Amino acid sequence: MNEKEKAKNGLLYDANYDAALMEERTWAKDLCHDYNHLRPSNMTERKALIEKLMGKTSKSFHIEQPFVCDYGYNIEIGENFYVNHNCVILDAAKVTFGDNVFIAPNCGFYTAGHPLDVEQRNQGLEYAYPITVGNNVWFGGNVVVLPGVTIGDNTVIGAGSVVNRDIPSGVIAAGNPCRVIRSITEEDKKKYWKE
């Protein structure tokens, strides 16, 4: 089993010194560099670069610059996907976003983690667990989502949260570590309307 296959299977793998993975990361980072240096108004070329980079895109998406990822091919986005500035996706494992996902500035989605054992860590070993985000999810600014997390549909993750466990559908969750605050209610539909 090669290092890429180990990563895909959730096993410890050599992320730092494996030539094939290093080459794939360099390819993705070159595309990210090109993307981040395009004029913001050059929407056609921006869209084409993201489609080349990511494993699956939708018809309707917008990713503000700068944007950085490790491989790109492990990222799948649904329809009406929006990412604000400074998003980082460490996609050593699959990162899947549903439809109508909105991500505020400075958010990170990190599938990669490192062993607690110093000898394994110093060998360049790491693990990668997938991140799955449902439909209609909004992330406030500066949210970090850690390896192996699933976030349900119709959920809001508050600004500054560190999401280290699964979050169910239909809730507001926030904090470090992120926890469910409450369910989203019918009253929330009226909250921002002025009479």
Task: Please give the structure tokens belonging to residue 23.
Answer: 């080459």
- Cβ contacts of residue 188 below 8 Å, gap of 6+? none
Q: Does residue 114 carry a catalytic annotation?
A: yes
Please report, in angstroms and rounded to a whole number, the separation of the first and last CA atoms in the chain: 63
Task: Please give the structure tokens belonging to residue 184.
Answer: 């989203």
Cα separation of 127 and 112, whole Å?
A: 6
Cα separation of 77 and 27, whole Å?
A: 20
- Phi, psi at residue 118, to the nearest 5°? -65, -35
Question: CA distances (Å), 13 to each of 28, 93, 124, in order?
Answer: 19, 12, 8
DSSP class of 84: -
Residues labelled catalytic? 114
